[in-house]
Structure 1
């Protein structure tokens, strides 16, 4: 034997254990680091995301400070937003003064109180310091003479990639070059639908595919390609090697990974989402970081001697002195006569009362004003008890804020009761439309489907329908294939030009007629037959989701939905289960207007499923034995509320009893007026709506069908409250489409389980929606998605600005802005109002630590209305 050591089985086992331990350690750090980003769903299945979900163990204020320090992101409303809200009367300045007094009382300082108050009141006007004062030589001299204020240093740890602080010979920061490379590789790997050619070796995973191809990448120079040629084949080993080569201390690895994830939070968020969808890609975020930091090392290699320099941030003295001169009415002479200790005290005070704090006080006053006005509106109303026995029909709507105006208009036109419930109606299902082999989840993205429900039809009719649908699909596929084929794409314009030109002209000049013609042509050709739902349980392979429900499950889901609606007695002859959907043309964000919770799934399928379950004799018989007695002449039907045009479309109407038919006819008679009034109210809020038009319905359809329309509707903009209680609490209140409304009767919830479920489910989703709109408004450059008119749909996943930006994760400018300079959405954190005794709320906070944390840390606001009608702020 030669002198080379030979590994025994025991040594191999020990080495494998060591490798597994190393991999485990890095995975733990990556899991912790991933809390700074949020999963990003594909835009076709758009789901509202709380970008700060992983930061909620910190207070909102702490998270705001951390984001400002690490990424220079400001998540408080800007001064212009605040001043605009103030000018509209949305902020009561008394609340600003109260907030200031509370802040002054809770801080110690050696400055006369009247001097401090005068300074703060002047600073709270939010006017900028005069530029001539900031640039004056006298101020510069005073600043140079002073060095006593402690500096705020951040050189003890790395909060941004090293490449952020180094530029190449052309002056371009290396982190920008790195981002460009990473975006390219992410697009190549994640593209599932747009590219004609797929990424080589894609089936081996992101890192392996990159590792095989990077040595041939012409975008890198020869030295860079060579340096990565022998790079490890395993992602976690490559990541450790890159971190070691960059000399990142073990204590700073997590922070360093966070900095890289925050550099491109959209692409990183998509990787995080994909990693949670299948076991095949469970390590995708690790692979993403391995690719990114390996490439950073290759780019940084010539500059490594510079990387030991850590950034240092010092307090700028001049603006603080200028603040006292401008807002504190001090003269330069008076400042010069102060002792060094006094100057330090004054500067420290001005440093503490910075612009971020000033805008925080304004935001809290804005929120308190909204809370105060909502409480007055609710408490001041003389409640009329709804006589549920006399209601001609009962409507169950989604809690979506767009339902509130429609419900209000509907209630004005007759003896109707409306109910709010999460729009998936408690059914954890995936739906499969007629003739489709695929299914999609039809429930909030925080849940997983447990049953598959299929549309079925007569076998002969189904066969003909599938043939016609296949013809349409084949035509579409052929067109796409020809576009991506080098030779065929040369012939395609000659073949498709006349038809596409005609379509372009008609859609541009007569969009309503064109849309109606194309829709009618498609429907006439397809001729979808009448369908039924596969509600009965079907035996399935163990790996597959069960089709339909067992008898026990049918009863359980019906019972659960009725209890969540508070509908266990006093049933009307007709009960309408209303899902909701939206309609728009040429809109990448169409799914965002469907449902902010359910990944773009409309609620009609779920509504039809629940209505069908509640009509089953065997389900009613079992419910009756439990005390839920549904009258024989009560019929459940299903409909969809089309939010873009405020119309109600029937999707399931079985044979009606005489009383139910009377109610149905009454609804049909009043629906045009309801739709007209709801449209008039909603359209008046759109900036490009012509107020003089006399036909709101026609204008609403134009917004929905015009392919050049960038704002078909406002969606959930201006959402601000989630009200959990009986409809009587908000009856006759004009909530301006700003409140999620969920029915709840504490008298039927002795255990508190119903309230806990509402908070954990719909409450969480409403908060996600609220913070998505908030983030897209206050920091659109980072959390929004820019202008819809300049977006590029990429990789079938989402949108970018240009061809090499981050994958944009939030809402477009047009969803939150009235104009280029005026916001439409009011960035307020969600107010949750619970109609229940205080003991119920205390129990909820004691039992639900996650919700308690959100309230205590300022991520949501909480109030309650007790049985005596008293409003309590928590």
Structure 2
């Protein structure tokens, strides 16, 4: 039987027909869709935020997810035995191991657990068809199929997902993913030549035209039983996990806008197509070899549940070691909190004495500078809030049609913010942008490959020399556009009314605990970082602001709270801001620990002095981790400033490395605790939260963001090959902002680079699950968990630990399954 298909738009080719199953059964479709939902998103470089790579599997216990990804992809959720050998009897003690074994219900002695660390630990793993074919391939003279598939799919995706004008949703913008790949691959004779496999191209010509048909045909032909479909599809997606994560991001964004798309199904079809091609190619090439392949394949599918269970059992002792590490840290924190509670009871703060209030992001880097600032005067009060300061905004600068989100990736912006500027300034900004756009367009045009280099090469040589000898700060291009201290806030194309602005302000002040008393000066402190030649720079900025600095958020909030009309309306809502209170927007540079203020409201000389002295103290503390503590103060300052501007510096700062705790409590209860820059600090007073709305907000938003950050760092340390982005020095940026390749190909790399986690000698991040301590009654925590499935999943499946911290200093672990 013969049939015709299009090989390209220009011609057609007659090919042999293959058995085709046109539709997935209901069970198959459900299983395929489930696999597609298991991939967490990765954000583009210019909006980079930390993501829990196992987020879409949070409905399963972490231990079971660990076993599954280990069996399917050799992905690791635990540190190797060698790591625990190093910390044993240093930070990890026998008592910690004994308690960990008891907590996990395991009857392992300390001696058994010690012996385990020196035992061999070989386990078999799942193999995709491409892996099985590779096992019989002459690797001395032929490239591995796994490498070729990854490279081919990755290079195609890098070209296909180039920036395109958005057509309302990504599903429409990037429609035809599978068909585009199929057409491209059918015309690529180079694959057959490179892999030295005659007749390979014919099998691509035989593939079905529709992704669902391809999937249905492959599942039948490969004899994949319904109970294995999800695991097999997940294994294939994890084979190209970087690009699968990018597709998940496009899906995430569409869902925030009320759309959905089929890009993940089409992407999966591409990877399944390669499996089917290799299966057919082996069948037609050598029947005896194919029969061996078929036996191995069918046997593997039959034992897959047993294989996953074997990995779960094999990891039991390693989980005891991991739990013991977390107990060691939690024991220390609990002791500090107990001591702090005793001291806080005898030092009740006086609202009347407060001369400065400073609201910071909950970021762990803020913990260091807050301590340093508070040490300047007992009358200084600092406050911890989510770094976007409760503003669900996207920033639309003048002179451009683009806007950028300034809120957590979990949320969708509802308000557009634009600076109020004179018309002439807007026209000037637009003209400059158009000029730059024409320059970039010329540089990207094919004919400019040689002409632009010939015309401007010498100029760029001087630029390279200048940047080497006279380094300077680099910022997000949008930050160079003109802004102001006044803003227009619109929602659905209509400007916000004074009542709406007041409602927004009231909600923010209440969440900050600033609805009852105000100092004369209230600093609203956003944060950002300084580095150059750093594709991952946004990852050092504020995650709660969508990978941007918090400058826009604090400037907008200061504008709202200083507005006399807004203040008058707030009075009607029971919030009275004294006439002499002024809100001042400021920025904390987490790389240099310097402060910058904005707006017409000036910081007093006294406050300036406090901020300057806090900068010195914070730098001294951070100098220890940067290896600069042996230097004099002035030299430390110079070195840190240089790091921020040095385009060869791969470690400008340590970001949120070593994060481990999230404290939800009034600041006066933790003011005397040194968390060593390892804790997120969120202010909260349960006695002012009768309906638990604030606690619900904290546990469903900032706590989740902290979980994302914590497990992004955790995963990037445990398995940088799968969940991290490798060596910074080898990075090549994909289409400006999609992500990076390590070298000139391979999969899209996600997660954190090695240099953000390791100083060349040792890990700078200790991989511990987040320990959340909440100053609230156990019943209140239980009620929030009962009403929010995501919170229950994170707690009960042990993606984080949740503790109730009582006013008497006692700490009790909370599990909603035992509440």
The TM-score bracket by the shorter chain reads 0.7 to 0.9
Residues 392 and 416 in structure 1, CA contact (< 8 A), matched pair in contact too: yes
Deviations 1:784-840 (A, max 9, x none): 111101122223311122222111111000111122x52110100000000112222
- Alignment map for 1:487-506 (pairs within 5 Å): 488-506=448-466
Report what 1:431 is aligned to. Answer: 395
Q: CA deviation at 1:353?
A: 11
Report what 2:744 is aligned to. Answer: 803
- Alignment map for 1:609-688 (pairs within 5 Å): 609-654=556-601, 664-687=604-627
Q: CA deviation at 1:873?
A: 2.5
Residue in structure 1 matching 2:712, options 767, 772, 794: 772
* Structure 2 SS opposite 1:220: helix
Give distance in 1, aligned partners of 2:696 and 2:22. 40
Residues 160 and 256 in structure 1, CA contact (< 8 A), matched pair in contact too: no
Alpha-carbon distance change, 558 to 529 in structure 1, aligned in 2, over 3 angstroms: closer
Residues 400 and 433 in structure 2, CA contact (< 8 A), matched pair in contact too: no
Give distance in 2, aligned partners of 1:62 and 1:503. 53
Q: CA deviation at 1:554?
A: 1.0
Alpha-carbon distance change, 868 to 531 in structure 1, aligned in 2, over 3 angstroms: closer
Is 1:58 aligned with 2:60? yes
Residues 92 and 366 in structure 1, CA contact (< 8 A), matched pair in contact too: no
Q: CA deviation at 1:685?
A: 0.7
Residue in structure 1 matching 2:319, options 327, 348, 360: 360
Give distance in 1, aligned partners of 2:703 and 2:755. 26
Q: Scaled by the length of structure 1, what TM-score is found? A: 0.81
Q: CA deviation at 1:48?
A: 1.1
- Alignment map for 1:558-569 (pairs within 5 Å): 558-569=505-516
Report what 2:369 is aligned to. Answer: 406
Q: How many residues align?
A: 753
Give distance in 2, aligned partners of 1:57 and 1:352. 19
- Alignment map for 1:547-586 (pairs within 5 Å): 548-586=495-533
Alpha-carbon distance change, 592 to 845 in structure 1, aligned in 2, over 3 angstroms: same
Q: CA deviation at 1:854?
A: 1.9
Report what 2:75 is aligned to. Answer: 73
Give distance in 2, aligned partners of 1:27 and 1:725. 47
Give distance in 2, aligned partners of 1:756 and 1:85. 37
Q: CA deviation at 1:355?
A: 6.7
Residues 36 and 262 in structure 1, CA contact (< 8 A), matched pair in contact too: no
Residues 161 and 174 in structure 2, CA contact (< 8 A), matched pair in contact too: no
Is 1:289 aligned with 2:268? yes
Alpha-carbon distance change, 280 to 395 in structure 1, aligned in 2, over 3 angstroms: closer
Alpha-carbon distance change, 688 to 71 in structure 1, aligned in 2, over 3 angstroms: farther
Residues 92 and 325 in structure 2, CA contact (< 8 A), matched pair in contact too: yes
Report what 2:182 is aligned to. Answer: 211
Deviations 1:732-781 (A, max 9, x none): 21111110011100011111121011010000010010000000011111
Residues 835 and 865 in structure 1, CA contact (< 8 A), matched pair in contact too: yes
Residues 566 and 743 in structure 1, CA contact (< 8 A), matched pair in contact too: yes
Residue in structure 1 matching 2:42, options 28, 32, 40: 40
Is 1:301 aligned with 2:242? no
CA RMSD of aligned residues (A): 3.1
* Structure 1 SS opposite 2:701: helix
Q: CA deviation at 1:859?
A: 0.9
Q: CA deviation at 1:102?
A: 6.1
Deviations 1:370-425 (A, max 9, x none): 11111111221312222232221211111111111111111111322110110111
Alpha-carbon distance change, 730 to 86 in structure 1, aligned in 2, over 3 angstroms: farther
Give distance in 1, aligned partners of 2:759 and 2:260. 41
Report what 1:744 is aligned to. Answer: 684
Q: Tell which structure's C-alpha radius of gyration is larger.
A: 1
Is 1:452 aligned with 2:416? yes
Report what 1:190 is aligned to. Answer: 161
Alpha-carbon distance change, 672 to 282 in structure 1, aligned in 2, over 3 angstroms: same
* Structure 1 SS opposite 2:235: helix
Alpha-carbon distance change, 668 to 434 in structure 1, aligned in 2, over 3 angstroms: farther
- Alignment map for 1:77-96 (pairs within 5 Å): 77-86=79-88, 89-96=90-97
Residue in structure 1 matching 2:641, options 678, 701, 707: 701
Residues 534 and 547 in structure 1, CA contact (< 8 A), matched pair in contact too: no
- Alignment map for 1:251-650 (pairs within 5 Å): 251-278=227-254, 282-304=261-283, 305-306=290-291, 307-310=293-296, 356-381=315-340, 382-383=343-344, 384-414=347-377, 415-478=379-442, 480-481=443-444, 484-486=445-447, 488-508=448-468, 510=469, 513-515=470-472, 528=482, 530=484, 532-535=486-489, 537=490, 545-546=492-493, 548-650=495-597
Residue in structure 1 matching 2:699, options 759, 769, 774: 759
Residues 399 and 742 in structure 1, CA contact (< 8 A), matched pair in contact too: yes
Q: CA deviation at 1:95?
A: 1.3
Report what 1:813 is aligned to. Answer: 754
Residue in structure 2 matching 1:834, options 757, 774, 777: 774
Residue in structure 1 matching 2:115, options 106, 123, 136: 123
Alpha-carbon distance change, 210 to 677 in structure 1, aligned in 2, over 3 angstroms: same
Residue in structure 1 matching 2:148, options 177, 180, 184: 177
Give distance in 1, aligned partners of 2:253 and 2:743. 28
Give distance in 1, aligned partners of 2:429 and 2:364. 37
Give distance in 2, aligned partners of 1:260 and 1:523. 38
Report what 2:129 is aligned to. Answer: 162
Give distance in 2, aligned partners of 1:530 and 1:859. 42
Give distance in 1, aligned partners of 2:37 and 2:483. 48
Give distance in 1, aligned partners of 2:175 and 2:57. 33
Give distance in 1, aligned partners of 2:174 and 2:569. 50
Report what 1:343 is aligned to. Answer: none
Alpha-carbon distance change, 801 to 849 in structure 1, aligned in 2, over 3 angstroms: same
Alpha-carbon distance change, 550 to 160 in structure 1, aligned in 2, over 3 angstroms: farther
Gaps of 5+ in 1: 1-18, 108-115, 135-151, 194-200, 314-350, 539-544, 655-660
Give distance in 2, aligned partners of 1:52 and 1:629. 45
Residues 864 and 872 in structure 1, CA contact (< 8 A), matched pair in contact too: yes
Residues 39 and 273 in structure 1, CA contact (< 8 A), matched pair in contact too: yes
33-42 or 169-178: which moved more? 169-178
Give distance in 1, aligned partners of 2:493 and 2:115. 63
Residues 56 and 857 in structure 1, CA contact (< 8 A), matched pair in contact too: yes
Alpha-carbon distance change, 679 to 476 in structure 1, aligned in 2, over 3 angstroms: farther
Q: CA deviation at 1:70?
A: 1.7
Report what 1:657 is aligned to. Answer: none
Alpha-carbon distance change, 209 to 840 in structure 1, aligned in 2, over 3 angstroms: same
* Structure 1 SS opposite 2:472: helix
Report what 1:99 is aligned to. Answer: 100
Q: CA deviation at 1:869?
A: 2.7
Deviations 1:168-209 (A, max 9, x none): 64335433332222112212211228xxxxxxx996521222
Q: CA deviation at 1:491?
A: 3.4
Residues 746 and 835 in structure 1, CA contact (< 8 A), matched pair in contact too: yes
Residues 160 and 260 in structure 1, CA contact (< 8 A), matched pair in contact too: no
* Structure 2 SS opposite 1:553: helix
Gaps of 5+ in 2: 1-20, 165-171, 193-197, 284-289, 301-309, 815-819
**4+ long deviations beyond 6 Å:** 351-355
Report what 2:10 is aligned to. Answer: none
494-503 or 719-728: which moved more? 494-503
Residues 388 and 544 in structure 2, CA contact (< 8 A), matched pair in contact too: no
Q: CA deviation at 1:283?
A: 0.9
Q: CA deviation at 1:563?
A: 1.0
Give distance in 2, aligned partners of 1:251 and 1:818. 45
Residues 393 and 417 in structure 1, CA contact (< 8 A), matched pair in contact too: yes
Alpha-carbon distance change, 678 to 308 in structure 1, aligned in 2, over 3 angstroms: same
Alpha-carbon distance change, 395 to 102 in structure 1, aligned in 2, over 3 angstroms: closer
Residues 486 and 559 in structure 2, CA contact (< 8 A), matched pair in contact too: no
